[in-house]
Amino acid sequence: LREAIRSERLRPGTRLPSSRTLAVDLGIARNTVADAYGQLVAEGWLASRSGSGTWVAERTTPVQVPATPAGQGVGRFRYDLRPGTPNLAAFPRSAWLTAARRVLSTSSYDVLGYSDPRGLLPLRTALADYLSRARGVAVAPDGIVVCAGFTQGLELLCEVLRGRGAACLAVEAYGQDLSQRIAEAKGLATMTLPVDAGGAAVDQLGDTEAVLLTPAHQFPLGVPLDPLRRRHIVEWASHTGALIVEDDYDGEFRYDRRPVGALQALAPEQVVYAGTASKSLAPGLRLGWLVLPTHLVEEVAAAKARLGRLSSSLDQLVLAELIASGAYDRHVRRSRLTYRWRRDRLTATLRRDVPEVRVTGIDAGLHALVELPDGDSEDDIVARAATHGLALDGLSRYRLGQQPHSPALVLGYATPPDHAYTTALARLAAVLTSQPQASEVERIGPHVGTPSDERVLPW
């Protein structure tokens, strides 16, 4: 009946058979029909009056089922060398499932309720252990607030900063525009800090109340923050009372020596350390964490609770179990080997086939900077790549300020699955040498013996 009314096969005002008649017709109990009529009256599809029977209710508007909205912008490329996503094909599915089984068979049921806004204690405990061990963070479980990825963490921080009267967040002149948008959505102005081969120019901070940095591995330029600048900014923050937000998005992945430890350990009361499972496991988990100065824990937790922004309990517990069981460490170690191999393949391929580009920012992380010859156009190359089914990002895509730069690509080498990586690199070389076919390029590509990976930035 509902469908018939919705589709206007039954028009408003149409009388329905009595419940007795319809029951006989359908061979069912009269009460069943009467219940259905009552139900549809309660829902507003039918109307009835005692003694006058039942009819289709009047409606002022026709009922339409909403149609598909136009293009949500999920582009379809065969090969994706844009930065920001790890190798999802290597997600540790069976370790995750094992951990999930353990969590589901051992957890108390109350973890499935509305829980501590800081996140569940087993995860905060596991993270405190992991972060102090792997990243040198000075942390106790009570100083951690788990959040739905870095973006939510930054959102909460901006909200609290704004609430405390802060007016401005400084960001690096190259980075994710999402960070800028979040700050601005929360009512903070943003200023940009120039970035050079030593990372952000932290001596130009002035009197901003907070600064967002990627000290271990500048995104997207790939340089670590210079040791003197590390000390300078910590002193600046201690002196001015400003807050440093340390975005340690891929701190686990450093290839040629031990990772640069967290800046946070130098000044736990001035630095918020922000980490995420988006690069080490998968962005789809929406799990990140803030390690907070004592004076911020309560406010950030309250901001999170205020708008009900909690994270999935099950995912939290599974991640805790993964860390506690050692499976997370094993996954990170395995990933590090894979990514190093990929990085080496990338630099070797470009050195051989496209010697005129320079590859920098390759000590760590899941992306490199491919510096193009002056005169090349990022936009042209990105567009040409698209016609080869290859997704690329130009450096301009990540420019937040006015700082000029020579043309470059920000190249993520983690995303293609293993079997597609070689082809993706061949296409990249083909695009960069303007050859239409990857196979041709491999045939004609010169072998060049001189390395081109000196870490010189083009401005």
Q: Does 285 bind a second copy (CB under 8 A)?
A: yes
Q: Does 424 bind a second copy (CB under 8 A)?
A: no
Beta strands in 271-372 (DSSP E): 271-276, 288-291, 358-360, 367-371
- Token pair for residue 343? 């990085």
- Candidates 134-142, 166-174, 203-211, 346-354; binding stretch for a second copy (CB under 8 A): 134-142
Query: Minimal distance in Å, beta carbon 257 to a second copy?
Result: 6
Closest to a second copy by CB, 25 vs 35, is 35
- Candidates 9-17, 53-61, 390-398, 443-451; binding stretch for a second copy (CB under 8 A): 53-61
Residues of this chain, 388-417, that bind a second copy according to CB under 8 A: 417
Which of 91, 194, 324, 384 binds a second copy (CB under 8 A)? It is: 91
Query: Minimal distance in Å, beta carbon 45 to a second copy?
Result: 7
Query: Minimal distance in Å, beta carbon 216 to a second copy?
Result: 9
Number of amino acids touching a second copy (CB under 8 A): 113
Query: Minimal distance in Å, beta carbon 68 to a second copy?
Result: 4
Q: Does 275 bind a second copy (CB under 8 A)?
A: no
Q: Does 52 bind a second copy (CB under 8 A)?
A: no
DSSP letter for each residue of 174-185: BS-HHHHHHHHH
Query: Minimal distance in Å, beta carbon 410 to a second copy?
Result: 16
Q: Does 450 bind a second copy (CB under 8 A)?
A: no
Q: Which amino acid is at 365?
A: G
Q: Does 297 bind a second copy (CB under 8 A)?
A: yes
- Separation CA 305–CA 280 (nearest Å): 27
Q: Which strands, in side-by-side order, build the sheet including 408-412?
A: 358-360, 367-371, 408-412
CB 200 within 8 A of CB 213: yes
Q: Does 42 bind a second copy (CB under 8 A)?
A: yes
Query: Minimal distance in Å, beta carbon 87 to a second copy?
Result: 8
- Candidates 97-105, 197-205, 378-386, 442-450; binding stretch for a second copy (CB under 8 A): 97-105
Q: Does 269 bind a second copy (CB under 8 A)?
A: yes
Q: What angle do CA 121, 125, 128 make, to 5 degrees?
A: 135
Q: Does 30 bind a second copy (CB under 8 A)?
A: no
- Separation CA 1–CA 15 (nearest Å): 12
Q: In terms of DSSP bridges, do strands 195-196 and 79-80 run parallel, antiparallel, or are they unpaired?
A: unpaired
Q: Does 348 bind a second copy (CB under 8 A)?
A: no
- Separation CA 14–CA 231 (nearest Å): 81
Which of 23, 191, 201, 265 binds a second copy (CB under 8 A)? It is: 265
Q: Does 105 bind a second copy (CB under 8 A)?
A: yes
Q: Does 139 bind a second copy (CB under 8 A)?
A: yes
State whether residue 94 is helix, strand or coil: helix
CB 382 within 8 A of CB 394: yes
Residues of this chain, 2-21, that bind a second copy according to CB under 8 A: 2, 6
- Token pair for residue 331? 């996954």
Q: In terms of DSSP bridges, do strands 79-80 and 390-391 run parallel, antiparallel, or are they unpaired?
A: parallel
- Separation CA 287–CA 119 (nearest Å): 10
Query: Minimal distance in Å, beta carbon 138 to a second copy?
Result: 5
Residue 265 is given by DSSP the state G
- Token pair for residue 80? 């994706």
Closest to a second copy by CB, 124 vs 351, is 124
Which of 17, 23, 77, 100 binds a second copy (CB under 8 A)? It is: 100
In angstroms, how far is CA 176 from the centroid of its own chain? 11
Question: Which sign does the torsion angle of CA 69, 70, 75, 78 carry?
Answer: positive
Which of 199, 268, 365, 407 binds a second copy (CB under 8 A)? It is: 268
Closest CA to 282 of 95, 120, 417, 89: 89
363: phi then psi, degrees, rounded to nearest 5? -70, -20
Q: Which amino acid is at 300?
A: V
Binding mask 309-338 for a second copy (x = CB under 8 A): xxxxxxx-----------------------
Q: What angle do CA 300, 303, 304 make, to 5 degrees?
A: 90
Q: Does 449 bind a second copy (CB under 8 A)?
A: no
Binding mask 220-259 for a second copy (x = CB under 8 A): ----x--x--xx--xx--xx-----------------xx-
- Separation CA 8–CA 2 (nearest Å): 10
Closest to a second copy by CB, 354 vs 411, is 411
